Structure 1
Amino acid sequence: MDETIEVVVVRVFTDESGRNGNELGIVTSSPATASREQDIANALGFSETVFVDEVDEPGRAARIRIFTPAKELPFAGHPSVGTAWWLADRRTPVDVLREPAGEVEVAVAVDTAWITARAEWTPAFEWLELKSPEDVDALDPFAFTSGQHFAYAWIDEAAGTLRARMFAPEMGIIEDEATGAAAIALTARLGRPLSILQGEGSQLATEPLGDGRIRVGGTTVYDRTIDATL
């Protein structure tokens, strides 16, 4: 028998005016979703869908699981940022998201959310450093048939600003609009704060904290709520 579930959709890492950003589906776990998470994420088709399992400690921690259309991830950046913002927006803020990779610290101020995580929690990316932002723009997403690829070029190296795109057929993602995990991994790789313009115009900011942890954050906005029959 088909079940109807509520899916809240937010856009994570928008620009300052709330445009662009990576869509995130957020589902509150229930008996209707139990053991069906991967099928639901595949049917919804977002680059990632979050299932909020429970608030372990009200005001302190929530447990979440993250699925791409093809697999479960132990950690991901834009789902963590988006979920942190959504919990605060619905007046159930937490300080920590408990994910399979570890405890992710969060901070939210109005429409800006930050998470703190470790680069070793992120997937393995193939890094493609190109000569110019125009070279990044010219890439064909369908040329990537396996793996996880993050292409970037400096816009202003002295200022730490760069242009980026990410392609992850291994995750069932042709092109990801904004990728917090890759931003964390690249910040660790380059050892400096970054301001990243990704996809159609999403904006991510990062900051290494000096102890192996890295912050990534940006603006999140509510987009819509859908009733999905699955």
Structure 2
Amino acid sequence: MTDYDVLRVFCAANGGYGNELGVVRDGSVLPDRAERQALAAKLGFSETVFVDDPERGVVDIYTPTLRLPFAGHPCVGTAWLLDVPELVTPAGVVGARQDGEFTWIEARAEWAPPRTLRRYATAAEVDDLPVPPKGEWVYAWAWEDEPAGRVRARGFPGRDDGIDEDEATGAAALLLTAELGRALNITQGTGSQLLTAPQPGGWVEIGGRVVLER
């Protein structure tokens, strides 16, 4: 079996929750894309990262069914694990930094895969949502405290890969931040926390806590 680490990314303040991520630190053991896709499907995480150059931060990201040019929680988790100043993804170079308990990355909204950002009137409505029909990636959100920038969100990938709800989704948070043009403190899923902040020139920072699960 290929060696891999399991992280939880975008954890709550107590270290709980967060979205699981698989990271194969030595991507050379599976150089073929088909083999990587097969392992990502077998592991079943929302994303699995293969590190092709740990010093330069070159990474390759897969869901159980497809390869992604960029994804938020894999980049945050891998930046924390490798402790590098940047990651090189097919979409572009992702800046990274550590700030106390938070790991931050800097990326562009146009790198994120398409998401349907669906606003609801209250956080309670978001809490009560059933899983929507397959076919579109839905990021359901509502203000918990608009002046403070606090958001309640849930992510539904809409794919047939066994993942009905994504616990924490950096790419969707990136898109929402770009659309609203302000810093956000997002509670997603059962209790994950994502922080975001717009930057000059169309960049957005996304930050969160990372825990090594095993």
User: Which one of 71, 75, 78 corresponds to residue 70 of structure 2?
Assistant: 75
Corresponding residue for 2:6?
Answer: 9
* Equivalent pair of 1:71/1:171 in contact (CA under 8 Å): no
* Equivalent pair of 1:68/1:171 in contact (CA under 8 Å): no
Shift of 1:111: 3.5
Shift of 1:28: 2.3
In structure 2, C-alpha distance between the alignment counterparts of 1:160 and 1:49, rounded to whole Å? 30
* Equivalent pair of 1:24/1:49 in contact (CA under 8 Å): yes
Corresponding residue for 1:85?
Answer: 80
In structure 2, C-alpha distance between the alignment counterparts of 1:139 and 1:150, rounded to whole Å? 11
Shift of 1:95: 1.0
Structure 2 gap segments, 5+ residues each: none
TM-score, reference length from structure 2: 0.95
Cα RMSD, aligned residues only? 1.3
Corresponding residue for 2:153?
Answer: 164
Shift of 1:169: 2.2
In structure 2, C-alpha distance between the alignment counterparts of 1:166 and 1:49, rounded to whole Å? 18
User: Which one of 58, 70, 74 corresponds to residue 63 of structure 1?
Assistant: 58
In structure 1, C-alpha distance between the alignment counterparts of 2:45 and 2:142, rounded to whole Å? 26
User: Which one of 217, 220, 230 corresponds to residue 207 of structure 2?
Assistant: 217
**Quick check: which has more Rg, 1 or 2?**
1
After TM superposition, the structure 1 stretch with the greater mean CA deviation from structure 2, 23-32 or 173-182, is: 23-32
Shift of 1:171: 7.5
Shift of 1:121: 0.3
In structure 2, C-alpha distance between the alignment counterparts of 1:156 and 1:134, rounded to whole Å? 13
Name the amino acid aligned to 2:197: E
Moved over 6 A (4+): none
Name the amino acid aligned to 2:26: S
How many residue pairs match? The answer is: 211
In structure 1, C-alpha distance between the alignment counterparts of 2:13 and 2:144, rounded to whole Å? 19
Q: Which has the higher contact order (CA 8 A, sep 6+)?
A: 1
* Equivalent pair of 2:138/2:156 in contact (CA under 8 Å): yes
User: Which one of 25, 30, 35 corresponds to residue 33 of structure 1?
Assistant: 30
What is the percent sequence identity of the aligned residues?
46
**Equivalences for residues 38-53 of structure 1 within 5 A:** 38-53=37-52
